[in-house]
Amino acid sequence: MCPQSYSGPMSELIPVDVMDLVSFDSLLSEEEIALRAKVREFVDATIKPNIAEWYDNAVFPLEIVPEMAKLGLLGMHLKGYGCAGRSAVEYGLAGAELEAGDSGLRTFVSVQGSLAMSAIYKWGSEEQKQQWLPRMAAGEAIGCFGLTEPTAGSDPSSMKTFARKDGEDWVINGAKRWIGLASVAKVAVIWAQTDDGIRGFVVPTDTPGFKATPITAKLSMRASIQCDIELTDVRLPASAMLPEAKGLRGPFSCLNEARYGIIWGAMGAARDSFEAALAYSQERMQFDRPLSGYQMTQQKLVNMALEIDKGFLLALQLGRLKDAGKLQNHQISVGKLNNCREAIKIAREARTILGGNGVTLDYSPLRHANNLESVRTYEGTDEVHSLILGQQLTGVGAFR
């Protein structure tokens, strides 16, 4: 249901859509609008009525995975192997709608499609693709992506997980941390050092020596799963290696897919926070008038709306570039840094309009703000993306 505007005690209430400020939909095709509407309907019917309970109880709703698969959301930007083959813009629009429901549920689609499936799709053998991608697109097999380690986050080149050759086999030992979906996954893409540099491996999670333990003490992303992984003498055949991935180019190509999705997703969380604050301000009476009738409230709403519109316009520009094959890596950093930074400000500002009621799970902004602390951190912190852009501007690398 659209929030309502209030312009005086005698006026009629009219529907409000923040995107109307810049006629955003005029920039989209009918097919793009239809896909967005389809995903929004799913979010409104399935996620929003239940997300407060899922978040409060720290439950990831596995029961919605088949419905996500039916909508073509799993690996939706990949072609063939049962995937939907949608455009980058369509993927982004879907991600924004999912994150308007909750960041954790959009993250599921990202881990499954942009990370695990993309790694196999981009760098795997045909046998690996045929074995896993159709099942993952159908939601029959969940995947995870093991890159980050307890002491290797922003600097994955310092990873300690090591795969050694033993005859024709590979044997992996090491540890990974903050790995989404690992405890419910059937397949893990594990990145490890070898004598020949960093390589990727497709690891069925029922392989002896593979252990995933959920991280439960979280103040963010509670309706999702992140895990520690222990790899103890995990023995794999030679065919488990991703044959085309060598060095950090492999995992970074997948991270860029996930970062692109975040550019859209963060704005979905921001938009939902704005809509909650706007609706509340029009209903909440203080000193005999609605909060929306006060100048300071209107200033907050205007500032939020402007940043949301700018964030979506940025996302759309990058999406069009991606679909044209012209998107550059530093441009992904522009979107990830800006939109995460602004989204968390918007969610926090929206909470202030809700007052004390805003700290409850009856309203979404503080939940979004808590989730965005994670979104802002994973797939590259503000600092990392600032350094990427600093190098682009100055020509001087300042990472070390």
Catalytic residues: 379
User: Encoding tokens for residue 96?
Assistant: 């924004």
Q: Under a CB-based contact definition with an 8 Å cutoff, are residues 199 and 191 in contact?
A: yes
Helix (H) or strand (E) holding 257: helix 249-283
Q: What count of other Cβ atoms lies within 10 Å of the Cβ of residue 59?
A: 14
- CA atoms within 13 Å, Cβ hemisphere of 338: 20
Q: Give me Rg for the CA atoms of the chain.
A: 22
3 state SS of 168? coil
User: Encoding tokens for residue 29?
Assistant: 């095709």
Buried b (16+ CB within 10 A) or exposed e, 9-44: eeeeeeebebbeebebeeebeeebeebbeebbebbe
**Beta-strand runs (E) in the chain:** 79-80, 83-84, 143-146, 162-166, 169-180, 187-194, 197-204, 210-214, 226-236, 241-246, 285-286, 289-290
198: β partners = 193
